[in-house]
């Protein structure tokens, strides 16, 4: 085990989600241990982050993926990535398996699935009407206006939208207001402490 964060595993749609919270429990020694055994490309990616926080998030995301592959009993070598034109990563050396990684300020999560998948994680912060107007359609705005907890409901919606974008591999587009209408995509959300996690996958 590297570092002190705890891995939590939850299940959605026949897939497993792995979550590490309290990532500030890790320090420079965590990064040094990662450097010792990460493949060259991942080591370089991690060290491109100027701040320790980014390095830790990058390292934990990759470790969670390794952990997920081991849990499935399919780990045989360090995962290698390829990317589409919008920088969505794919597993080059584990055909038939799909994954996605996301992080917020104090948590990192990873999902592994047989289906095409996207995941997003966000901490609930202050509600901003201007941001809601930018990303939500009229029906969603009305729902938020009627909500007893606008911030909570908004960040759930935000993670759902991000997860769909990541599942379809398009990156955020001008379709952000209507992205939840994407056909043949299943979305599930779960809240843990003050964090929303949403997963989108092919039906």
Please give the pLDDT value at position 8.
60
User: Cα separation of 175 and 177, whole Å?
Assistant: 6
Read off the pLDDT band of 3 (50, 70, 90).
very low
Residue-wise pLDDT tens digits, 65-98: 999 999 999 999 999 999 988 889 999 999 999 9
Residue-wise pLDDT tens digits, 118-152: 999 999 999 999 999 999 999 999 999 999 999 99
Please give the pLDDT value at position 170.
80
The closest of 103, 106, 11 to 64, measured between CA atoms, is 103
Residue-wise pLDDT tens digits, 156-191: 999 999 999 999 988 777 789 999 999 999 999 999
Q: pLDDT higher for 7 or 86? A: 86
User: What is the spatial order of strands in the sheet that 185-192 belongs to?
Assistant: 117-123, 195-202, 185-192
Query: Which residue blocks in 8-137 are alpha helix, DSSP H?
Result: 28-37, 40-47, 52-71, 129-135
Residue 10 has pLDDT above 80, yes or no: no
User: Cα separation of 50 and 192, whole Å?
Assistant: 29
Tokens 């991000």, located at residue: 162
The answer to whether 169 and 84 are in contact (CB under 8 A) is: yes
Please give the pLDDT value at position 2.
41
DSSP SS3 for 41? helix
The closest of 116, 81, 88 to 102, measured between CA atoms, is 88
Read off the pLDDT band of 7 (50, 70, 90).
low
């Amino acid at each position: 085990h590297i570092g002190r964060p705890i891995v939590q595993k939850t299940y959605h749609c026949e897939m497993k989600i792995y979550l590490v919270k309290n990532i500030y429990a890790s320090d420079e020694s965590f990064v040094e241990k990662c450097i010792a055994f990460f493949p060259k490309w991942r080591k370089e990616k991690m060290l491109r982050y100027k701040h320790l926080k980014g390095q830790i998030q990058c390292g934990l995301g990759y470790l969670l993926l390794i952990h997920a592959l081991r849990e499935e009993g399919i780990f045989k070598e360090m995962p290698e990535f390829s990317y589409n034109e919008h920088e969505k990563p794919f597993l080059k050396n584990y055909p038939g398996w799909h994954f996605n990684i996301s992080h917020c300020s104090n948590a990192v999560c990873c999902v592994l699935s047989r289906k095409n998948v996207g995941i997003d994680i966000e901490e609930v912060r202050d509600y901003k009407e201007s941001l809601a107007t930018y990303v939500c359609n009229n029906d969603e705005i009305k729902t938020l206006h009627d909500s007893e907890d606008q911030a909570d409901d908004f960040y759930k919606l935000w993670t759902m939208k991000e997860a769909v974008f990541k599942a379809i591999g398009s990156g955020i587009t001008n379709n952000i207001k209507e992205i939840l209408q994407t056909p043949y995509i299943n979305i599930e959300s779960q809240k843990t402490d003050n964090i929303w996690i949403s997963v989108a996958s092919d039906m």
